[in-house]
Structure 1
Amino acid sequence: MNKLVKGMFALGMGALMVGCSSGTSDSGSQQINVVSREEGSGTRGAFVELFGVQEGDVDNTTSAAEVTNSTSVMISTVQGNENAIGYISLGSLSDDVKAVKIDGVEATTENVKSGDYKVSRPFIVCTKGTDLSEIASDFMSYIMSTDGQAIVSEEGYIAQDTTTTYTASNLSGSLTVGGSSSVTPLMEKLAEEYQKLNPEVEISVQQSDSTTGATNTIDGVYEIGMCSRELKQEETDAGLVPTVIATDGIAVIVNTNNAVDDLTVDQVKQIYTGEITDWSEISA
């Protein structure tokens, strides 16, 4: 009987200790779970530059950050963790997560267009020189036409000013486009609408990241690459020619249960460099 009582007491104490160690109520701690994109991501490149996380060529993102490899994984990660913070293309924002204001300004296309929301970057397609195949050239013409730029606006991005109209070419053949996961949803829509006008053309849109998009275009794997950042010097030196097809904001996102609605640029920088590690350090 004594052994039984002692065993039950030990189990009870063990459960109590586990309960105390697994929760946050004992200390009030709400440790921030920093979520970032992978190296090579154009969204990461633009984010660390715009928020000052990168100094020179050094990306100072905390080593404690959880790294995700796509926009969709970033959203699902933040959606599933009440203490998480991440960043995505504004055009990919959904009700699954909450975009915080930055310096008191909401992340909206209107505020990006007006310049009030300053966290924005270009969506670029790149080609190896300007001597393109007939299909690639025609698809580029469609993207930059009033029809193509209307789709850019419909998808939640800021269109480029244009008055050029597009007429179906009746071409046939195939085209491979690849790169940034942020640009991919927009490119898929553009390709879908282009193929309705040119049903004999097949466009394959392959998702990876901006660096892969640029590198594979240089190597001839893609005829058109997608980048969600400016091209690097070594990429232009290798013959890549950029074309801006849209402007996109970067939304800083948190879990919908997070009480924080507004962060400053400096607070975001401090979170991503590991200087701020707990939500209690930020006034909701």
Structure 2
Amino acid sequence: MKNWKRFAAVAMSVMCMGTMVACGSSGSASNDSKTGSAGSSSKSQTITVVSREDGSGTRGAFIELFGIEEKDASGKKVDNTTDDATITNSTEVMMTTVAGDEAAIGYTSLGALNSSIKALKVDGAEATAANVKSGTYKISRPFNIATKGTVSEVTQDFINYILSEDGQKIVESNGYISQGNSGAFTSNGASGKIVVAGSSSVTPVMEKLLEAYQKVNTGAKIELQESDSTTGMTAAIDGTCDIGMASRELKDSEKSAGLTNQVIALDGIAVIVNNKNSASNITSEQVKAIFTGETTDWNNVK
């Protein structure tokens, strides 16, 4: 009988401990539910600023358009991106980084947007190709290709295709804005290898263009090397590629080095956040404050 009473007492003690743990867990869940998501939380949440690497055309255009790049007293351009920013080296890594961090904010090519992240309206305008084309969404930049000197016949044939009606249809079908076209395409039939190198933002639409072109001209073999705009322009200057890709305007130094550029599309730059972020709109001034490190908490983005 005594053993039975002792067993019952132990069992009761275990039950009480279980109840206390359950109550504690319930309390924690309740507290967590009050935290909320980035952009709407009453609890402090440090913003994770995600930027691109030096040399990226997207970064160059982004910091210029939002006033993050400013001239110092000597007239030299200075990039004021916060030193605390997480640096990514491609469009794909940028997207993955923002998708994996609820407190993150970054930027990417309009044509690269997908359901893994959320694009914010900027100054009330949605980041769409139609709004870029109409001028409603003002955060945009050109996609350029650049060559040096006289190019091979097959390289010129591919350039002709990109600028033709067929090529510009591919540009528009992939979410970019055509800058006009030269009409119907007729191949010169040239064969050989073409090396295209540069911007990771231009790469996705360039992949579509070269795939379509090689069906028209089966004698052309195209190698695509993804890096960044500055690397692409340097390769074109050095002659290690036939066509360089840049997701920005060419620099005066690149033009003086002998490069000739051609705009193949207009692209918007979307400001992106994690899907769990409750924010939907941001002002240009807020973007600048965040990326220069002046604003560091989502509660101050209202």
TM-score of the superposition, structure 1-length normalised? 0.89
SS of 2:64's equivalent in the other structure is helix
Distance in 2, Cα, partners of 1:272 & 1:204: 36
Distance in 2, Cα, partners of 1:121 & 1:207: 19
Q: Is the 8 A contact 2:61 2:141 kept in 1?
A: yes
Q: Which runs of 5+ in 2 are unaligned?
A: 1-27, 36-40, 72-76
Q: How does 1:177-256 map to 2 (within 5 A)?
A: 177-256=196-275
Distance in 2, Cα, partners of 1:168 & 1:126: 20
Q: Is the 8 A contact 2:42 2:299 kept in 1?
A: no
| Residue 46 (structure 1) aligned with residue 77 (structure 2) | no
Give the letter for the 2:93 counterpart.
V
Give the letter for the 2:237 counterpart.
I
Distance in 2, Cα, partners of 1:27 & 1:102: 23
User: Which of 145, 150, 161 is equivalent to 1:142?
Assistant: 161
- Using the TM superposition, give the Cα deviation of residue 168 of structure 1 relative to its aligned residue in structure 2, in angstroms: 2.8
SS of 1:177's equivalent in the other structure is strand
- Using the TM superposition, give the Cα deviation of residue 27 of structure 1 relative to its aligned residue in structure 2, in angstroms: 8.1
1:128 maps to 148
- Using the TM superposition, give the Cα deviation of residue 163 of structure 1 relative to its aligned residue in structure 2, in angstroms: 4.2
- Using the TM superposition, give the Cα deviation of residue 203 of structure 1 relative to its aligned residue in structure 2, in angstroms: 0.4
Q: How does 1:1-284 map to 2 (within 5 A)?
A: 28-56=43-71, 57-129=77-149, 131-283=150-302
- Using the TM superposition, give the Cα deviation of residue 257 of structure 1 relative to its aligned residue in structure 2, in angstroms: 0.5
1:15 maps to none
Q: Is the 8 A contact 2:121 2:127 kept in 1?
A: yes
- Aligned-pair identity in percent equals 58
Distance in 2, Cα, partners of 1:175 & 1:163: 21
Give the letter for the 2:236 counterpart.
T
Q: 1:27 to 1:104 in 2, by over 3 A?
A: closer
Summarize deviations over 1:80-122 as a string: whole Å, max 9, x none. Answer: 0000000000000001000000000000000000001000000
Larger radius of gyration: 2
When the two chains are superposed, the root-mean-square deviation of aligned CA atoms in Å is 1.5
TM-score of the superposition, structure 2-length normalised? 0.84
Distance in 1, Cα, partners of 2:183 & 2:278: 46
1:10 maps to none
Summarize deviations over 1:40-63 as a string: whole Å, max 9, x none. Answer: 000000000000000021000000
Provide the aligned length of Structure 1 versus Structure 2: 261
- Using the TM superposition, give the Cα deviation of residue 169 of structure 1 relative to its aligned residue in structure 2, in angstroms: 2.9
| Deviant stretches of 4+, over 2 Å | 23-27, 168-171
Q: Is the 8 A contact 2:50 2:106 kept in 1?
A: yes
Distance in 1, Cα, partners of 2:90 & 2:64: 19
Distance in 2, Cα, partners of 1:166 & 1:213: 26
Distance in 1, Cα, partners of 2:296 & 2:151: 49
